[in-house]
Structure 1
């Protein structure tokens, strides 16, 4: 909304002035801004696709595609979890996040590290924590790990 439109509407409530990430000290747009839902979901789908391709290459068993459920059925989930844990710990983003130009960062600017990335990965595997989002746009997994997903450029 332009300044001219705001002046016609009268005083602006405090919540209208703020954007997702404002309270965290993040910029509204560009590098370092909070990642949008489209980029997050695309990165997640890319990571999941890659994990499934790796799992099929590792297992190479036709029984993966048949019932009943066995331990082999969890190989894609295990590959996905290990990939997002180690990639976040080493380079600050999963492969899908890198492809979407996103990075997982701590608010104090220090590297994420193994412990925080492990907490974050386990919570992502639980599915629900990333869907519980606060006013700043951070999922519960990021809040508990002390991280935030931002744009790298």
Structure 2
């Protein structure tokens, strides 16, 4: 016979450790510079970067969807490779750090950006507050 408490275990979600600090498995500090960035700042930086690409697409490409997408990919890959941050991330005090694997930053930036375009990788997060596209690229978005 199925008991109500058996059903409650999966309804309550995955087991969580209340003492775990996101980012510590990568050696990142718990707070302050270098700590894992919060969801709000990350989302705002994505919206600002997308808005920049939309504005350029409207001004020069008659708001062509493919041009907007290519601008977004180019902006991310180029600026993450060179500076470790997009314009919005720089503005909001964020940066992208390598935390796993030994890939050069241009490869990380390309993998991260292409995975982000699938959208599903942006909504699946782990306990270190990393979306799947960051896990795949071996990166973490931290406070600058």
TM over 0.5: yes
TM-score (norm 2): 0.82
**1:79 alignment counterpart:** 71
1: CA distance, partners of 2:141 / 2:103: 13
TM-score (norm 1): 0.78
Q: Which runs of 5+ in 1 are unaligned?
A: 1-13, 65-71
Contact 1:92/1:111 (8 A) holds in 2:
no
Q: Give the total of aligned pairs.
A: 129
**Match 2:54 to one of 52, 55, 59:** 52
2: CA distance, partners of 1:73 / 1:25: 40
**1:95 alignment counterpart:** 87
Tell me the alpha carbon deviations over residues 92-121 of structure 1, each in whole angstroms, 9 at most, x when there is no partner.
01111111110000126x895211111111
2: CA distance, partners of 1:138 / 1:18: 14
Q: In structure 2, do the counterparts of structure 1 residues 15 and 98 end up closer, same or farther at CA, with 3 Å as the change threshold?
A: same
Does 2:125 match 1:133? Answer: yes
**Match 2:37 to one of 28, 35, 38:** 35
**Match 1:26 to one of 19, 25, 28:** 28
2: CA distance, partners of 1:52 / 1:37: 22
Structure with max Cα Rg? 1
Q: Which runs of 4+ in 1 moved over 6 A?
A: none
2: CA distance, partners of 1:25 / 1:36: 17
**Match 1:15 to one of 17, 23, 41:** 17
